[in-house]
Amino acid sequence: MILIYLILILLAGALLAWISGNLNHVLPRVITLVTLIVDLVWLIIYLLQTVAFSNKWLIDVQHHWILQFGIGVHFALDGLSLLMLLLTFFLGIISVLISWKEINSRVGFFHFNLLLILAGIVGVFLSLDLFLFYFFWELMLVPMYFLIGIWGHENRTKAAYKFFLYTQASGLLMFISILALYFVHGNSTGIYTFDYIQLLGTHMSASTGLLIMSGFLAAFLVKLPVVPLHNWLPDAHTEAPTAGSLILAALLLKTGAYGLLRFIVPLFPIASSSFAPIGMILGVIGILYGAKLAFAQTDLKRLIAYTSVSHMGFVILGVFSFNELAYQGVVIQMIAHGISTGALFIMAGQLSERIHTRDINKMGGLWEKAPFMGAIGLIFSMASLGLPGLGNFIAELLILLGAFKSNVLMSVLACIGLIAATLYSLRILQKVFYGVKNTDWKMNDLSIREKTIAVSLVIVIAGLGFYPQPVFNIAKPALLKTLDEHNEKTQLNSENLKVETDLKSKLYFYK
């Protein structure tokens, strides 16, 4: 029941934060912070006491809901979803702390939406009933729309509409595919269900599998995002408040990557294998195209947004490489990107709050004014370019090694993205903290609260870089299970095709 309680605590905290906003501005912040700390600590304590990592579900909760339609309340936790939950609660706490002084209007409603988004994200990472999964997938959209539309910057309305339309339209395509899978499974087995475990191995033709998978792909690739479905992302990041940009980059994008690993590969093993060459090409295009556009930007938040497009290209490349090495890299990339890019967005928000501009051509020489901020900017810019000793290096190295096993050309082309990452990362440092001082800005360095946030993020990204083994150990059973399910079905299909080909050749010979 702990998994249900984690979501209920977030929902209860959201309502309390909204109600308490009528009393003062401090109470909603405190309630939201306490809610997230309680969830994080409770999850850690529960797991330390009860869990031994294996290829089985660590926690599995099932209850009947709407029996006549095969809909149930099914939550489960394995190593992959555990890591995503820990990342969600940790960065949720960071998002509350960074918005402590930034948000001063409708504070209660802001924190209501913040916790509601996190509840949706947690639900996505835990749901094993596809109807319930879709419910939480859509739950994330509305509060994020409000975060951008109410507390965003100048062009917030346009950015909020674009975000909502892209994600809602792709989500509807996924719902159509969920219904199609429901009926295909029902027709072949006589059991109509939305349960993920029962839907694994559903018998369908190759063309049907590819068609149904395309709806899921649309939702996950838009959320990730993949070129050319990325147009909503730069605007949403640029116009969102700092906490909104952090949640978008560090958590919402990861729901797309999680969907590929959890649903696409195991549910559609044959179709995903057929799509793999296209998927790897899309990944490489995203890496190079995102890096090119990042280097061309002058708006700091928009520049960082395009680095997300580039870094998420490595995730696509790794997922469709279908080997353990690449999958371990994908998991590290999901965490490391959330930390490093989230930190850069936090820094952009802090700069904007102090000097009221995001134009990097108007900055320059700010290290003298804010040396601690400069040092933090240096660390996370180096993380973004993949400096050894930081988490992003481990992630991208493993993905490239895994991709090399599957497709040498795609791996080599993706390596060019590492060079491009060096260019745009060093450009951030040169334009913001070094170079010519374009304006004599009067600004303070980071406060104690901001330093605490920065140091905690540095510890995590450095920990991933120097000692990633705990993450490998936690994720390995879940990843191997995903690969085994995929390989078993594809191998069986290959054997069936071989037998069918032999029969056809023998019939032809006899004729």
**Cα–Cα distance between 360 and 338 in angstroms, integer?**
23
List the structure tokens of 487: 């390989």
**Cα–Cα distance between 125 and 87 in angstroms, integer?**
11
pLDDT in tens, 439-474: 777 888 889 999 999 999 999 999 999 999 999 999
Predicted pLDDT of residue 389: 92
Do 277 and 138 touch, CB atoms closer than 8 A? no
pLDDT in tens, 121-166: 999 999 999 999 999 999 999 999 999 999 988 889 999 999 999 9
Predicted pLDDT of residue 264: 93
Residue 202, phi then psi, degrees to nearest 5? -60, 130
Predicted pLDDT of residue 509: 44
Tell me if residue 467 falls in helix, strand or coil.
coil
Mean per-residue pLDDT over the chain, rounded: 90
213 HSE (CA, 13 A, CB side): 26
List the alpha helices (DSSP H) in 407-443. 408-432
Mean pLDDT of 271-297: 93
pLDDT above 80: residue 50 = no
**Cα–Cα distance between 117 and 247 in angstroms, integer?**
9
Cα separation values, 262 from 103, 133, 200, 445, 473, Å: 36, 12, 11, 43, 18
Report how many domains make up the chain.
1
Residue 71 β-bridge partners: 66
Range of the domain at 482: 2-510
Predicted pLDDT of residue 369: 86
> Which amino acid is it at 430?
Q
pLDDT above 70: residue 244 = yes
* Region for 357 from its dihedrals, namely left if φ exceeds 0, alpha if ψ lies in -120 to 50, beta otherwise: beta
Neighbours of 256 (CB within 10 A): 24
DSSP 8-state assignment for residue 316: H
Nearest to 185 by CA among 52, 339, 70, 357: 70
pLDDT above 80: residue 394 = yes
pLDDT in tens, 192-237: 999 999 999 888 888 899 999 999 999 999 998 898 888 899 999 8
Produce one character per residue of 454-485: b if its CB has 16 or more CB atoms within 10 Å, e if not: beebbebbbebbeebeebbebbbbbbebbbeb
